[in-house]
């Protein structure tokens, strides 16, 4: 039973304002970080500048950026303990399982463990943001049967990841992944960020909150749509098969990966950038015509929306960020199942910013629930049941 006078929230808390934040604002076809629209950052800023912005509230000047980069560079290397754990897990673990577990384990050796002060959490944010690309790149190498490549102190965040992961066959890989990291750095009170803030609200530390965020991001209704998108495109196989696939899929209430968004009703402002990268990269792609398939697919679904039920139409209202991220990553040589892990590399700074914001003005997040079960039951002795 809910508290007297209260009103039950809609399922999924849709439309409910759960907190205030100065970090990010999201609405239809609108995304801004600390007052900067995403269009002001992508293609102009380095990821390190955006990470600094999220963690500090303002873009850095030259000296601040230099010092911030130096701190990130200093903390890229993994300890023998983390390297050993990663090596053991890489044999059988998935990318998200490896990232979540190694990040969680890093709390055991973090000098600020248990300290939730602003200074300690800022230092943790830098260490986590710096180490995550190294963890993922090492995992990518190990599952290919290769030895990890150590961080290159002369390279920036995205370029260093590209080199460590062996993605430098494409000369634009660093530039494009830098943009992808920025596009995915923050997105308001999404499921993983809300999870991080709920955990931080208990006064648990940064590592606990971020580890919980990884758990939420792994779910296919939040992360994972890049993998599903590539599976869907492979299943279609050819642009000529799109129309029959869509008609059959609608009849069977198939869930189209890479479509639909709870907040973006007419356009996802991130998707246009990724579509542009997918177009450019597809020109050199020698495999299946993935981009042609997905363009035909988006058009076919849009043409049929008017004939769908309102509920079905709402689930394919827009092409979301994962749709073209899937092909962009594929064209860069990143396996589809690692799309969510790439997402996490960009999102780490955003998660950390929210944990610090929660701790700065904390109150335990403890909503009520509306009870729908039975009442008035009486105990029956075991012999009489």
Band (pLDDT 50/70/90 cuts) for residue 60 is very high
Pairwise CA distance, residues 349 & 344, whole Å: 9
Q: What are the contacts of 101-109 at 24+ separation with CB within 8 A?
A: 102/135, 103/128, 103/131, 103/132, 103/135, 103/207, 103/210, 103/211, 103/214, 104/207, 104/208, 104/211, 105/81, 106/82, 106/131, 106/207, 107/205, 107/207, 107/208, 108/81, 109/79, 109/81, 109/82
Contacts of 41 (CB under 8 A, 6+ apart): 33, 49, 50, 182
- pLDDT value, residue 157: 98
- pLDDT value, residue 1: 47
Do 130 and 73 meet the contact criterion of CB atoms below 8 Å apart? yes
Band (pLDDT 50/70/90 cuts) for residue 5 is low
Contacts of 363 (CB under 8 A, 6+ apart): 201
Q: Provide, rounded to the nearest whole percent, the portion of the chain with pLDDT above 90.
A: 86
Q: Bridge partners of 31? A: 26
Other C-beta atoms closer than 10 Å to the C-beta of 30 total 14
Mind giving me the DSSP string for 118-168?
A: HHHHHHHHHHHHHHHHHHHHHHHHHHTT-PPPPP-TTS-HHHHHHHHHT-T
Q: Provide, rounded to the nearest whole percent, the portion of the chain with pLDDT above 70.
A: 98
Decide if pLDDT at 159 tops 80: yes
314-362: pLDDT as tens digits:
999 999 999 999 999 999 999 989 999 999 999 999 999 999 999 999 9
Residue 322 appears among annotated catalytic residues: yes
Residue 261 appears among annotated catalytic residues: yes
Band (pLDDT 50/70/90 cuts) for residue 368 is confident
97-118: pLDDT as tens digits:
999 999 999 999 999 988 999 9
Q: Which two tokens stand for residue 168?
A: 């430098």
CATH 1.10.230.10 for the 225-331 domain, yes or no:
yes
- pLDDT value, residue 18: 76
Domain boundaries of the chain, sorted by first residue? 22-219+340-360, 225-331
* Element housing 24 (H / E): strand 24-27
End-to-end CA distance of the chain: 27
Pairwise CA distance, residues 349 & 152, whole Å: 21
Do 339 and 329 meet the contact criterion of CB atoms below 8 Å apart? yes
Contacts of 35 (CB under 8 A, 6+ apart): none
123-144: pLDDT as tens digits:
999 999 999 999 999 999 999 9
Catalytic residue among 261, 268, 354, 359: 261
Residue showing tokens 């800022």:
122
In CATH terms, the superfamily for domain 22-219+340-360 is Citrate Synthase, domain 1 (1.10.580.10)
Band (pLDDT 50/70/90 cuts) for residue 3 is low
- pLDDT value, residue 31: 97
**For residue 9, how far is the Cα from the chain centroid?**
26
pTM for the whole structure: 0.94
- pLDDT value, residue 6: 63
194-214: pLDDT as tens digits:
999 999 999 999 999 999 999
Catalytic residue among 205, 227, 268, 322: 322
């Amino acid at each position: 039973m809910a508290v007297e006078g209260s009103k039950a929230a809609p399922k999924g808390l849709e439309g409910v304002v759960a907190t205030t934040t100065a970090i990010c604002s999201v609405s239809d076809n609108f995304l801004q970080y600390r007052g900067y629209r995403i269009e002001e950052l992508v293609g102009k800023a380095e990821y390190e500048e955006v990470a600094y912005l999220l963690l500090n509230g303002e873009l850095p000047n030259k000296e601040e950026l230099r010092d911030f980069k130096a701190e990130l560079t200093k903390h890229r290397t993994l300890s023998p303990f983390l390297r050993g754990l990663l090596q053991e897990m890489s044999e059988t673990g998935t990318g998200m399982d490896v990232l979540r577990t190694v990040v969680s384990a890093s709390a055991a050796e973090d000098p600020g463990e248990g300290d939730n002060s602003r200074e300690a959490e800022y230092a943790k944010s830098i260490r986590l943001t710096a180490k995550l690309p190294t963890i993922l790149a090492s995992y990518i190498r190990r599952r290919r049967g290769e030895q990890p490549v150590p961080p290159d102190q002369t390279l920036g965040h995205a370029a260093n990841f590209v080199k460590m992961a062996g993605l430098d066959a494409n000369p634009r890989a660093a530039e494009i992944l830098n943009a992808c990291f920025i596009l995915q750095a923050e997105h308001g009170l999404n499921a993983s960020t809300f999870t991080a803030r709920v955990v931080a609200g208990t006064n648990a530390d940064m590592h606990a909150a971020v580890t919980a965020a990884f758990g939420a991001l792994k779910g296919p209704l939040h992360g994972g749509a890049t993998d599903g998108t590539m599976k869907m495109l492979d299943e279609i196989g050819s642009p000529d098969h799109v129309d029959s696939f869509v008609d059959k899929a609608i009849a069977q209430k198939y869930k189209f990966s890479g479509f639909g968004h709870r907040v973006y009703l007419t356009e996802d402002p991130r998707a246009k950038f990724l579509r542009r990268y997918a177009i450019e990269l597809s020109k050199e792609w020698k495999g299946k015509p993935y981009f042609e398939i997905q363009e035909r697919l988006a058009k076919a679904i849009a043409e049929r929306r008017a004939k769908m039920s309102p509920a079905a139409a709402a689930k394919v209202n827009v092409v979301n960020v994962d749709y073209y991220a899937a092909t962009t990553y594929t064209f860069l040589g990143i396996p589809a199942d690692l799309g969510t892990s790439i997402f996490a590399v960009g999102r780490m700074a955003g998660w950390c910013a929210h944990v610090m914001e929660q701790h700065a003005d904390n109150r335990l997040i403890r909503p009520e629930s509306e009870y729908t079960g039975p009442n008035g039951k009486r105990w029956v002795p075991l012999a009489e049941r």
